[in-house]
Structures are given as structure tokens and as C-alpha cells.
């Protein structure tokens, strides 16, 4: 899969690119079922809200076949290799849940701020890829992006360890207010299977979900191999130390897995 010149130009200008329904309903359905099974497990990689609801499941590609295929899928890997011009490795893999009624906020932040401060990543040459497993609507805690905020570089941030169950390097209100006055806020929404890619320095966050509609999103952080982390402080399942270049699987591999799972369940 290749991005067009217009898509690449839009990404560099705005800091993000949204590709609706890139994965089929069959592919997404099996991933959604697998995610629910993972959330029900008792593993150190699964972090929960203070309510007990799942917040995020790290490193599912290492212990789940379906998510392992997603992590090597050419629809994920090839466009990012095209943007960076080199091979990639998996820096981080997580399945974020925004559970119905109980999904908590993600404060305003830049991801590269964390990768640099906590992991020793030299440059913001890592890309976030978000795959929608549920329909993402304006009402159920969608990701909010501040267009063009990536052009401001890595901003000063404070380490918030108390607002939620997940420590995060967050931006202050004055900084966010200034950036939003310049670029506004967009909320990419769409059906399951949509893919959102965004720059590591793009400012983003999300509100809580008080609706009956869950919002699960898979996040892959694909890092240029030459940009591997130098001084990790977080657990290996959060910031991976295996810098082996990803070799994409066949484009139909996830669909074949979904069909096999569907036949087994029948």
C-alpha cells in the first residue's frame, strides 16, 4: 500500500492523516473479539481504570496471533516506511479501551515527549497508527487533535501521575489554549476499520466516555530503526528493546485468520 503525494503533503502540513475503513468488517470483528478476551485476562500488561474497567493492554502483538499479524500488516507498515524512508521496528503496541460509561480521559500531551524523556528516543521519527475497533463518534470520547501543533517541536510538559491510572507528560492549559487558537481541534471519527496516523509531536487528548458506546482503538508506535531508544526506563512490554526490522506479512493474512476463527466458532 502506498500513500499518494497529496496524502503525504497533507500529513506533513497538518500532522495527521485519516484513512477511513482501511480494514474490512471481518478483519475488525476478530480483532474486537480478541481484544475483549485480552481485557478479561489477568496479566501485568493490562492496566485498568480506578473503576476496574480496562484502560490499555500493552504488547498484545507478542502473545496474540491476530494482533501479531496486525503489527506486521502491510497496510500499517508500508505507508510509514514510505514516509520515513527506512525500515521500522515496533516501539510500542497497545489496545486502548474507552469503556462505556467509565472510560477515563487522556490529558493533552505529545507522545514524543514521553518517548524522549522516558525512553531516550533521539528524534520524533516514530509514527502513531490508530486502528478503530469500534465506531468512533463525536460523543464517545474520540481522539482530539490540534492540527499543525507538531510544527512547534517538543513542548515543555509536567509529569502527571495523579489524574488517571496512567502517568503522562502533559501540557498546561495556557499552552493548549494558544495552540488551539492557531490550529483548532479536529476529531477524526468513523466506522470500525478506519486508520489514523499522526506525528509524534502532534498535541492530542480525549475526553471521558459517559455514553453506552465503547471505543476501542489499537495503537502501534512504529519507530525508524536508526532512531531506536537509547535509555529506556519503562518496562519492556511498554517500550520494546527489540529493534529488529519488521517484515510485513501477506496482505490477506489477517483476513485468513479471521475466516479460520469464524469457521472454528461455527
**Per-residue pLDDT tens digits for 92-113:** 999 999 999 988 888 999 999 9
In this structure, the number of other CB atoms found within 10 A of the CB of residue 198 comes to 24
Confidence of residue 164 (pLDDT cuts 50, 70, 90): low
Q: 209-249 pLDDT, tens per residue? A: 999 999 999 999 999 999 999 999 999 999 999 999 999 99
Helix axes 253-265, 25-39, angle to 10 degrees: 70
Return the bridge partners of 205, or none: 144
Radius of gyration of the chain (CA): 17
Note the pLDDT tens digit of each residue in 10-61. 999 999 999 999 999 999 999 999 999 999 999 999 999 888 889 899 999 9
- In order of their start, the domains of the chain are 22-265 (2.60.120.620)
pTM of the predicted protein model: 0.94
Q: Is the pLDDT of residue 202 over 70?
A: yes
pLDDT digits (tens, 9 = 90+) for 111-160: 999 999 999 999 999 999 999 999 999 999 999 999 999 999 999 988 87
Q: Is 80 helix (H, G, I), strand (E, B) or coil?
A: helix
pLDDT for position 165: 59
Cα atoms found within 13 Å of the Cα of residue 222, Cβ hemisphere only? 29
Amino acid at each position: 500500500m502506498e500513500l499518494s503525494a497529496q496524502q503525504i503533503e497533507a500529513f506533513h502540513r497538518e500532522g495527521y492523516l485519516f484513512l477511513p475503513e482501511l480494514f474490512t468488517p471481518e478483519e475488525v470483528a476478530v480483532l474486537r473479539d480478541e481484544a475483549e478476551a485480552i481485557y478479561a485476562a489477568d496479566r501485568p500488561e493490562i492496566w485498568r481504570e480506578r473503576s476496574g474497567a480496562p484502560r490499555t493492554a500493552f504488547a498484545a502483538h507478542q502473545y496474540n496471533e491476530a494482533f501479531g499479524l496486525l503489527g506486521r500488516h502491510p497496510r500499517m507498515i508500508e505507508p510509514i516506511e514510505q514516509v520515513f524512508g527506512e525500515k521500522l521496528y515496533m516501539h510500542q503496541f497497545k489496545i486502548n479501551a474507552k469503556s462505556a460509561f467509565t472510560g477515563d480521559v487522556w490529558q493533552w500531551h505529545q507522545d514524543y515527549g514521553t518517548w524522549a524523556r522516558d525512553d531516550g528516543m533521539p528524534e520524533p521519527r516514530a509514527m502513531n497508527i490508530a486502528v478503530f475497533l469500534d465506531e468512533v463518534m463525536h460523543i464517545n470520547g474520540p481522539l482530539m487533535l490540534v492540527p499543525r501543533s507538531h510544527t512547534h517541536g517538543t513542548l515543555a510538559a509536567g509529569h502527571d501521575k495523579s489524574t488517571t491510572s496512567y502517568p503522562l507528560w502533559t501540557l498546561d492549559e495556557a499552552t493548549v489554549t494558544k495552540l488551539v487558537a492557531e490550529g483548532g481541534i479536529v476529531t477524526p471519527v468513523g466506522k470500525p476499520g478506519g486508520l489514523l496516523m499522526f506525528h509524534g509531536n502532534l498535541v492530542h487528548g480525549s475526553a471521558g466516555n459517559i455514553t453506552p458506546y465503547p471505543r476501542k482503538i489499537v495503537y502501534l508506535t512504529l519507530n525508524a530503526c536508526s532512531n531506536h531508544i537509547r535509555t529506556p526506563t519503562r518496562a519492556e512490554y511498554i517500550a520494546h528493546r527489540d529493534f529488529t526490522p519488521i517484515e510485513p506479512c501477506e496482505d490477506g493474512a489477517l483476513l485468513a485468520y479471521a475466516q479460520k476463527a469464524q469457521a472454528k466458532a461455527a
